[in-house]
């Protein structure tokens, strides 16, 4: 199935730069075929996807990139255009003759939980269940385990960027992956629009990069100290173990066990 943009489109433009095939165009803009010829726009009001250039991102991603960034979920599979994974792979190779796209290239058809390819090969059987691992011995259970400590922070793309509506001063937030210059956001309180500028986006991006850099460096330094402390502790424990082993050996061999042969003093054997 080719992907289609529904009438719920808000013309934010987030999908256009994500398409690996340049199959998405702004409403009213002519589209260019593979041979360079120009064709009339398929829509004059909203962004549209050219079916002849859409591969549902097969060959590039295991998901549809336009749908992943759409803030209103209006990029959906077109039920009127069912296509097999093989057909989409062939189209991707035609659209990108300079690239080598193998048969096992990324595809939403092979993504875990993805829809089966219409008319395609039968899905592979699920792998047999893995037998549970045997219980660990007490010695193994006492081995040190690398532990993850500290607060968890989101990935930069998932970081919620605060927005304050200039009309009603209401506050809301959007993930940074959607916070792009020219994207139109609607206030959930008054439906007022907000469009980030390029300087806003760059400022937020640089701030996130600096913070994540400091955060990562602090954790690496902390874990390095923990590793050194653990090594020193293990050295002390190893020394204690050696001392106790020697002490235990001395106690066990200090006296002769009953019945053991003993040499009498003052008598000599000739």
pLDDT tens for each residue of 38-89: 999 999 999 999 999 999 998 888 888 898 889 888 898 887 888 888 888 8
CB-CB contact of 55 with 30 (8 Å):
no
For range 136-157, the mean pLDDT: 59
Q: Which region, left, alpha or beta, applies to residue 165 given φ > 0 means left and ψ of -120 to 50 means alpha?
A: beta
pLDDT of residue 222: 86
**124 pLDDT more than 90:** no
Is the pLDDT at 95 greater than 60? The verdict is yes
Choose the weakest-confidence range: 6-10, 49-53, 149-153, 230-234. 149-153
Query: Hey, is 89 helix, strand or coil?
Result: helix
User: Taking the complete model, does pTM exceed 0.85, yes or no?
Assistant: no
Q: What is the CA radius of gyration of the chain?
A: 33
Q: Which residues contact 10 (CB under 8 A, 6 or more apart)?
A: 71, 72, 74, 184, 186
Supply the pLDDT for residue 253.
83
d(CA 248, CA 149): 39
Q: Does 221 score more than 50 pLDDT?
A: yes
Q: Give the chain's mean pLDDT.
A: 81
In tens, the pLDDT along 130-146 reads: 444 444 444 444 444 44
What's 178's DSSP letter?
Answer: G
E-strand ranges in 43-183 read 48-49, 75-77, 160-164, 171-175
Length of the chain counted residue by residue: 270
CA distances from 156 to 54, 149, 150, 205, 211 (A): 29, 20, 18, 8, 10
What is the pLDDT, as a whole number, of residue 267? 54
Three-state DSSP at 119 gives: coil
User: What is the spatial distance between Cα 57 and Cα 63, in angstroms, rounded to a whole number?
Assistant: 7
């Amino acid at each position: 199935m080719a992907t289609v943009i529904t009438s719920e489109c808000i013309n934010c433009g987030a999908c256009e730069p994500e398409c690996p095939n340049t199959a998405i165009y702004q409403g009213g803009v002519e589209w260019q075929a593979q041979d360079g010829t120009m064709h009339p726009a398929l829509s004059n009001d909203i962004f549209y996807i050219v079916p002849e250039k859409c591969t549902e991102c097969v060959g590039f991603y295991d998901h549809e990139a336009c749908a992943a960034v759409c803030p209103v979920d209006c990029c959906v599979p077109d039920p009127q255009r069912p296509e097999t994974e093989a057909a989409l792979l062939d189209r991707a190779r035609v659209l990108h003759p300079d690239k080598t796209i193998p048969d096992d290239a990324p595809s939403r058809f092979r993504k875990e939980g993805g829809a089966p390819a219409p008319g395609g090969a039968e899905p592979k059987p699920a792998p047999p269940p893995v037998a549970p691992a045997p219980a660990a011995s007490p010695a193994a259970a006492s081995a040190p385990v690398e532990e993850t400590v500290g607060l968890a922070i989101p990935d930069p793309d998932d970081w919620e960027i605060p927005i304050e509506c200039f009309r009603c001063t209401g506050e809301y937030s959007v993930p940074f992956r959607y916070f792009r210059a020219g994207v139109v956001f609607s206030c959930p309180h008054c439906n007022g629009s907000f469009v980030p500028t390029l300087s806003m986006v760059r400022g937020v991006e640089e701030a996130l990069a600096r913070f994540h850099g400091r955060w990562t460096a602090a954790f690496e330094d902390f874990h390095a100290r923990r590793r050194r402390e653990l090594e020193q502790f293990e050295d002390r424990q190893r020394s204690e173990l050696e001392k106790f082993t020697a002490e235990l050996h001395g106690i066990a061999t200090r006296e002769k066990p009953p019945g053991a042969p003993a040499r009498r003093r003052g008598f000599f054997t000739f």
